[in-house]
Structure 1
Amino acid sequence: MKVAVLSDIHGNHYALSAVLDSAKKNGVSQLLILGDIVGYYYYPEIVLELLSEWQYKVIKGNHEDLLLDLLENRIDRESLIKKYGKGHQEALRKLDKKTIDWLVSLPDHQSVVVDGVLFQLNHGSPWDSNTYLYPDTKSEILAQCDSERYDFVLIGHSHYAFTCILKNSILLNPGSVGQSRDKGGIANWAIVNTKNRCLELKSTPYDVSELILDVERLDPDLKYSKEVLLR
């Protein structure tokens, strides 16, 4: 079976739609999603509608935690908008209570078995959702992700795709679907073939023009959300 590993969709249905089209063409049967469905961009309701057509497992990321903080008034709305834009606000406006409750109560980590292959789903790292791990992170830190139990240890959060063969397992960060920090107009993700345990990092192009117009309309003062799409 081919499994697609996705992370950091961030309300960007334009990117997700392109990824799912490619996943279908590549014979993917199941999705593993490493959190941050919401945040930055504005269409979590369409993201969830697209995902509903697939079999998938999902955990929460730090932006689901921020959504809960906003909902429960533990974070200042204007401060959140200034840093990340109106993505969280749009999620609260567009999603019903049942969906929001589901999102914010997702697990921080999850174990998933597919065809006898054991995956550990994490957002930032196996020990903390807010840990940033990059391709150039020191090898001794990456080695802390190693597991005698899991075949694949999956992480996201940093928006940079990489793999690392550890002593007992393979560490995989698929990068970000919704906000790649390598290059604008590219959605990063990965495919794992459970039959031969081979993996492939994928970069799928998509049209950012409509999303740029969305940013200009909703977050005209947040330059980063636009600039990262044009790298």
Structure 2
Amino acid sequence: MDKKIENIGTLSGKVLLFGGVYSNLQALEALKTFAEANEISPENCICTGDIVGYCVQPEETVQLFKSWKAKSIAGNVEMQLVSGADNCGCAFEEGSRCDVLSEQWYEYAQSKISTSSLSFLKDLPEHIQFNYANKQITLVHGSFFNTSEFIFKSTNWDVKQANFEATNSDVIIAGHCGLPFYEENNNKIWINPGVIGMPANNGSPHVWFAILEDTKGQFSFKFHNLDYDFELASQLMQSNKLPESYAQTLKIGIWDNMEILPLTEQKQQGLKINL
């Protein structure tokens, strides 16, 4: 089947990149407020997928995203919801803690999403491409080859290089793994802006996003922290009987488990992220 790739042309001005909203309405509201305060237009605000996820307001989050008119590619969660699948499609090991907990939040999300929201999610492209500061940029969720592939900074560069070659890109913007990072090699740049729906396992409740800038034709990017009402987001999870451990993660910034993480990233748990 052909991939659904949307080319949005050449962008100018600041471009705000983020991922993994994860049904965290409070975080999305804060990010939208930041974008408006910094005069970043909705069409320059782009998500790497998984608008829906762990938190408690999937329907409200999708509707806010839709009304904001920001752009997004489809994450594995969107693809699974649209197809009516019975799991989130993260390819967790069967019986693992992630697998067990995902059954709870995914079933909850399925029960809350409206037909209108599913229609919106169905129309999301698998990838977005655009030109910016003389660079060809492609958004992927996991990878170009597999929406659910986890790619980290410690992942071998050859894995990343294959994505650049397949898309003929200078810059890849990726999501899915939940951790912000970048890596430069062979005049190519892989950027994961992080996610706004959950902290980055570094012991802080703040979440992450990134901004691209074009200064006289020179490409640059910077990572940012986002402060939002994580106490409310956590409280709402608890009152709706979603996984307690994820509700705590929103407040303490430490993941419930590290099953998906390579050893390098496991060793970084609780450490300050310097980008």
**TM-score computed with the length of structure 2 as normaliser:** 0.71
**How far did residue 115 of structure 1 move?**
6.6
- 1:10-68 C-alpha deviation (Å, 9 max, x unpaired): 01011122222223333423111111001111223332343345453211111113323
Q: Which residue of 1 aligns with 2:155?
A: 137
- Number of residue-to-residue matches in the alignment: 226
Distance in 2 (CA, whole Å) between partners of 1:146 and 1:41 is 33
- 1:166-195 C-alpha deviation (Å, 9 max, x unpaired): 324311101111012334421211000134
Q: Which residue of 1 aligns with 2:188?
A: 169
SS of the counterpart of 2:182? strand
Check conservation: 1:8, 1:35, Cα contact below 8 A. yes
**Identity score, percent:** 23
Bigger shift: 204-213 or 20-29?
Answer: 20-29
Distance in 2 (CA, whole Å) between partners of 1:102 and 1:54 is 13
Check conservation: 2:164, 2:171, Cα contact below 8 A. no
Check conservation: 2:19, 2:50, Cα contact below 8 A. yes
1:202 aligns with 2:227: no
SS of the counterpart of 1:197? strand
Q: Which residue of 2 aligns with 1:228?
A: 249
SS of the counterpart of 2:186? coil
Report the residue type matching 1:2 in the other structure: K
Gaps of 5+ in 1: none
1:37 aligns with 2:51: yes
1:151 aligns with 2:163: no
SS of the counterpart of 2:248? helix
SS of the counterpart of 1:150? coil
Match of 1:189 among 209, 212, 220: 209
Report the residue type matching 2:220 in the other structure: C
Q: Which residue of 2 aligns with 1:123?
A: 141
CA RMSD of aligned residues (A): 2.8
**TM-score computed with the length of structure 1 as normaliser:** 0.83
Check conservation: 2:130, 2:138, Cα contact below 8 A. yes
Distance in 1 (CA, whole Å) between partners of 2:81 and 2:184 is 34
Check conservation: 2:87, 2:102, Cα contact below 8 A. no
1:2 and 1:91, CA in 2 relative to 1: closer, same or farther beyond 3 A? Answer: same
Distance in 1 (CA, whole Å) between partners of 2:57 and 2:133 is 33
Q: Which residue of 1 aligns with 2:80?
A: 66
1:206 and 1:138, CA in 2 relative to 1: closer, same or farther beyond 3 A? Answer: same
1:219 aligns with 2:241: yes
Check conservation: 2:180, 2:200, Cα contact below 8 A. no
**How far did residue 158 of structure 1 move?**
0.5
Gaps of 5+ in 2: 1-12, 89-94, 254-275
Report the residue type matching 2:246 in the other structure: S
The structure 1 segments of at least 4 consecutive aligned residues displaced by more than 6 Å after TM superposition are: none
